Amino acid sequence: MSVSDRFFSLVPDRQCGSCMVCCEYLYINSPSLKKPADVLCGNCVSNQGCRIYDTRPSVCRSWHCLWRRDATIPAELRPDKSGVLFSLSVCDEPRYLFENAYIVCMALKTPAAFDAPLVAATLARYIGEAMLPVWLSHAGGKTLAWPDDKLANAILSPVAAQSDQLADEGKIWLERYEAMLEPLQAKNARFHHHHSPN
């Protein structure tokens, strides 16, 4: 299945329940709602959920973490229970090549959460699938977990690659990545539209 087919539907029977991790940890900058990262949204009432749920902004209706979108993430990894938030990010104007479209795993409290067996296995699987860049994020910073340094450098600067083989690998990587971006961006826009009744 191509990347652009993979993450754009919701897993049946998976609900947010009492999780409100995205209402706290995400930076939201939409016309109808702005909030900094790591601050619980003012509309969030503890143990009750969103006090404007029925009229919540479209950004809240449309955004879903990967736990809601990718059935291969184990059910146990609901963000409020696992302490990690997996998301797919697709940017229109990224600052850095590997931020065009990527998977990011954010540790909410402690980076030790990355080492929990199910989290580590999920990260290893995304890296092993070699589809999208994988970032680890914690406390406002993020590091690239895949491609690794050697390959990332070869992709960004083929002439400085340590070997011809690595330069070729980087070139193939970049062609494959660039080819998937447009379909991903289109799918991303449609997905958000589809999930935004407002």
Contact set with ligand SF4 (CB under 6 A)? 16, 19-23, 33, 41, 43-44, 50, 52, 56, 60, 64-65, 67-68, 78-79, 85
Residue 13 Cβ, how far from ligand SF4 at the closest point, in Å? Answer: 13
**Residue closer to ligand SF4, measured from CB, 19 or 127:** 19
For the CB of residue 64, give the shortest distance to ligand SF4 in the complex, in Å. 5
Give least dist CB 171 to ligand SF4, A.
36
Q: How far is the CB of 177 from ligand SF4 (least distance, A)?
A: 26
Cβ 163 to ligand SF4, closest distance in Å?
A: 42
Q: Say how far apart CA 169 and CA 123 lie, in whole Å.
A: 22
Contact 138, 111 (CB under 8 A): yes
